[in-house]
Amino acid sequence: MSQPGRSGLLYHLLMALGFIFLVAAFYLMQYLNFTGWVASLGPVSHQGAFKMVAVMIWMTPAFLAWKHYVRFINRRLEIQGRYYEDTYYGTQPDNATPKPSNEGAQQDTTNDDRT
């Protein structure tokens, strides 16, 4: 994509399409009454907690698909950046710039008259 304006519009349209997928996955869960089924497995006093667990179980694959979808779109449209989980887990992508080190930084030694 050589046109930056068109690439930005296409990126936003593709992100909207992916978000519609997430919303559709949630409504499919509601339509199939997955939360009700999981809530019926536990005691009545804990139905809310079981419904929350049902949403977590159902939406985990959807968010995993979302993550890979976003990375695919970024790679396809040649959008560069750094993902938080890449630096957290120790993998550095080829297009990431290294962080500056704080070894030579001076400490701020001003008095802070807070008491």
Dump pLDDT digits (tens) for 10-64: 989 999 999 999 999 999 999 999 999 999 999 999 999 999 999 999 999 999 9
N- to C-terminal Cα distance for the chain?
A: 58
Cα–Cα distance measured from residue 83 to residue 75, given in angstroms and rounded to the nearest whole number: 13
User: What pTM does this model have?
Assistant: 0.61
Nearest alpha-carbon partner for 66 in 30, 74, 8: 74
Neighbouring C-beta atoms of residue 29, cutoff 10 Å: 18
CB 35 within 8 A of CB 54: yes
Nearest alpha-carbon partner for 48 in 5, 56, 84: 56
